Structure 1
Amino acid sequence: MISLTSPVKTPWHSWPAGLKLGLLCVATMVLFSLENVFLHLAAFAACIGLYSVPGYVFLKAGCKRLVFLWPFLAVIVIWHAITGTPVEGTVIALRLLTAVGLANLVTMTTRLSDMVEVVKMLLSPLRVLGLKTRPLEIAIALVVRFTPVLAQKGRDLTFAWRARSPKKPKWQIIMPFTLLAIDDAEHVAEALRARGGI
């Protein structure tokens, strides 16, 4: 599995995980409360500014991880162009880009173990009630870790299809992608069982 944390050291690496996740929640709520397109442009510019502070390498890596949003942005822009509400569509697209960009920034500058510790702390009231929270902690960590892994495997399947056919891949890669995801899940389950399970 690949590491989500950026090897490029940034000022944000030294911030506590709980603080960064709290600020992310506040920023997301503010984004959803704004309707002015210029305020959203300013928020997106500020997000890009945060990526730019550590330098070009970090900025390029961060932007590369946002490329997967283009199909969603295309659907939003096309739909709002058809319905005659381009400003609203621009607001939604900028909101999506900024929110995911900030979340990605937190992920790139926070170790997974630190995020799990924050989740563990937040779930502590449930443990007082006698509920087991360990499976949920592991599940959250696996989702965060495997999302980019599966996205990369999807891209690899797409490249493999294009190398063998002039046609664009559509439904044909769904089955092999599903089998890859199931295979990864089985390997992880076996690894968890070998280590005592959860």
Structure 2
Amino acid sequence: MLTLYRPGTGLWHRLPAGPKAAVLMMIVLGVCLLPVSYTSAAIAAAVCVVCYTVPGIGPRELVRQLYITRWILVVTVAGQLLFLGPEEAAANTMRVAAAVVLSGLLALTTPVSELLDALERALGPLALLRIDPQRAALVLAVTLNTLPVLAGLARDVREAQRARGGGQSLRHFAMPFLVLALKHADALGDALTARGVR
């Protein structure tokens, strides 16, 4: 399974998965509860910079995460500017950016096995509702790891188009991307079936 995890020895890497997820969730919640203002946007940006400049990650990774999510941020700021003012657009877009990059920090510093164990423990109470916590955790972990795989497939298709001298046509992009995505889903399904997951 492809993962975003980057081995390291920094503070975020040393924290156990459960407490780390709780800390990051509280930081994201704190940023989202800030009042709508330019000051809140600046605070959200500063929080992201501080979290990523902890030894073991670095600001370069923050820039990379923002670049990966650029289209989400463009759509967010465009929609906000269309219906709200510039101050609201800045604050809300920075909230979204902070939530995305801080969530990415969890995936970057936590191996999938640890993340899966922490999710399973957190979802333990679902057993009272006759929902298997192991399966629920596996679904969440697979979802988290499938998104970067699909982003990588999209990048590969675009690079192949450029290498062949093709344009940026959505029609020529969609079919090969869909075929590769379905092949990945089929391979993932086979791997899960081979491990006894139904």
Asked whether 1:19 is paired with 2:58, we answer no
Q: In the TM superposition, what are the counterparts of 1:101-112 in structure 2 within 5 Å?
A: 101-112=101-112
Q: How far 1:28 sits from its partner (Å)? A: 2.2
Q: Using the alignment, how far apart are the partners of 2:108 and 2:101 within structure 1?
A: 10
Asked whether 1:122 is paired with 2:122, we answer yes
Asked whether 1:190 is paired with 2:190, we answer yes
Report the AA paired with residue 174 of structure 2: I
Q: How far 1:154 sits from its partner (Å)? A: 0.3
- Quote the residue 1:99 is aligned against: 99
Q: How far 1:89 sits from its partner (Å)? A: 0.8
Asked whether 1:31 is paired with 2:31, we answer yes
- Quote the residue 2:10 is aligned against: 10
Percentage of matched positions with identical amino acids: 29
Q: How far 1:84 sits from its partner (Å)? A: 6.4
- Quote the residue 1:142 is aligned against: 142
Q: Deviations over 1:130-152 (max 9, x none)?
A: 43233222211111112111101
CA contact (8 A) 1:66 1:101 kept: yes
- Quote the residue 1:90 is aligned against: 90
Cα RMSD after superposing both structures = 2.2
CA contact (8 A) 1:8 1:54 kept: no
What runs of 5+ residues in structure 1 fail to find an aligned partner? none
Q: Using the alignment, how far apart are the partners of 2:123 and 2:84 within structure 1?
A: 45
Q: In the TM superposition, what are the counterparts of 1:41-56 in structure 2 within 5 Å?
A: 41-54=42-55
Q: Deviations over 1:103-139 (max 9, x none)?
A: 1111111121112112211222222444323322221
Out of 146-155 and 4-13, give the one that drifted further: 4-13
CA contact (8 A) 2:17 2:115 kept: yes
Instruction: With the length of structure 1 as denominator, give the TM-score of the two structures.
Output: 0.87
Q: How far 1:163 sits from its partner (Å)? A: 2.6
- Quote the residue 1:176 is aligned against: 176
Give 3-state SS (helix, strand or coil) of 2:169's partner: coil
Q: Using the alignment, how far apart are the partners of 2:69 and 2:127 within structure 1?
A: 37
Equivalent pairs, count: 197
Q: Using the alignment, how far apart are the partners of 2:179 and 2:113 within structure 1?
A: 28
Q: Using the alignment, how far apart are the partners of 1:144 and 1:113 within structure 2?
A: 13
Report the AA paired with residue 44 of structure 1: A
Q: How far 1:36 sits from its partner (Å)? A: 2.4
CA contact (8 A) 2:52 2:61 kept: no
Q: In the TM superposition, what are the counterparts of 1:130-169 in structure 2 within 5 Å?
A: 130-165=130-165, 167-169=167-169
Report the AA paired with residue 65 of structure 1: Q
CA contact (8 A) 1:161 1:169 kept: no
Report the AA paired with residue 22 of structure 1: A
Q: Using the alignment, how far apart are the partners of 1:90 and 1:128 within structure 2?
A: 42
- Quote the residue 1:40 is aligned against: 41
Asked whether 1:73 is paired with 2:63, we answer no
What runs of 5+ residues in structure 2 fail to find an aligned partner? none
Give 3-state SS (helix, strand or coil) of 1:168's partner: coil
Q: Using the alignment, how far apart are the partners of 1:23 and 1:178 within structure 2?
A: 37
Q: How far 1:100 sits from its partner (Å)? A: 0.9
Using a 3 Å threshold, how does the CA distance of structure 1 residues 192 and 75 change in structure 2: closer, same or farther? Answer: closer
Out of 130-139 and 13-22, give the one that drifted further: 130-139
CA contact (8 A) 2:153 2:177 kept: yes
Instruction: With the length of structure 2 as denominator, give the TM-score of the two structures.
Output: 0.87
